[in-house]
Amino acid sequence: MAPTSVKVRSYAKINWTLEVLHLREDGYHEIRTIYQTVSLHDLLHIRASRRGVTVHCDDGLVPCDETNLAHKAALLLKELAGRKSGVTIDIEKRIPVAGGLAGGSSNAAATLMGLVRLWGLQVQDCDLLNLAAKIGSDVPFFLTGGTALGVGRGEEVYPLGEVSSSRLLLANPGIAVSTPGAYKGLGRLTTSGQTRIMPFTVLAAKGISELPLAARNDLEEVVLAVHPEIEGLKLRLIGLGANQALMSGSGATVFGVFDNKRDLSRALGAIRSAGYWCEAVRTVDRRGYFGTLFE
């Protein structure tokens, strides 16, 4: 008997690297990024209904109308599969909204995978990836998980050898950063058509395991100039013992890489005491990702 509901974990991501190249003819920037799933996750409870698509969320900052990416994903898959029945999606939100952790994109991918199981669909991987790319640039990555290279506008995803880090700290100053605004702010820096080369020498010479300490993000220059509190968080994490601190995506979340549990715990307490959202997380590899998606 087909299930009437599924529960899906919707994991967050960070970017070990994010290099912004030239402005493309379609108005997007060409990027090279290395994505990484981490253990922080939302929980989606997807239930069959008679018709339509309905989304509920326990975070008032999340829109529950047609602009919600999970809503868009359900409609597109419903159309592709020719389903007349509907679905209700309840989102328990734990990933900060507009925080550079791709919570909305992850919700969309989790919805696609959840509905494939709920409806018992036989969908080709390429069709699901094409559908995901229509929803948003980060959505295809969450059909892959683990450590992966993203090219194009980020929607072309290629699995890489796994990066493992068990002591990461995510911190957010409580501000929302507009991704389109961040890219627009790059302006003259990325319109020349000249591209830079991602530090793949790190992968070749030192191994991909070095990425946590070689991380870089080209959007920091623009975003930190407008939001100095993000720079303050980075410096604070370094001061509290992080070997590296970097803004994830377009911000405002910053991740810190720690050597030991003592420094991580001390930093977690200090950041929370300062009134910021903060969470200790670990990387999630592809095997762990797909092994824990469904509850």
Judge whether 13 counts as a catalytic residue: yes
Average pLDDT by stretches of 10, the chain with 295 residues:
88 92 80 94 96 94 95 96 93 94 97 96 93 96 95 91 93 81 63 47 55 80 88 95 92 93 96 96 97 96
Residue-level pLDDT at 212: 76
User: Of 13, 78, 93, 234, which residue is the catalytic one?
Assistant: 13
- Whether 93 and 46 have beta carbons less than 8 Å apart is answered as no
pLDDT in the model for residue 224 = 87
**138 carries an active-site annotation:** yes
**pLDDT given at position 190:** 45
**Strands laid side by side in the 244-247 sheet:** 244-247, 254-257, 168-172, 277-281
> What CATH class is the domain 5-161?
alpha beta
CATH number, span 168-281: 3.30.70.890
Q: With helix as H, strand as E and coil as C, how does 54-92 read?
A: EEEECCCCCCCCCCCHHHHHHHHHHHHHCCCCEEEEEEE
Residue ranges per domain, the chain?
Answer: 5-161, 168-281
Q: Of 42, 72, 78, 138, which residue is the catalytic one? A: 138
Can you give the pLDDT at residue 121? 93
Q: Report pLDDT digits (tens) over 153-197.
A: 888 999 988 999 999 999 999 887 767 666 777 764 444 444 455
pTM more than 0.85: yes
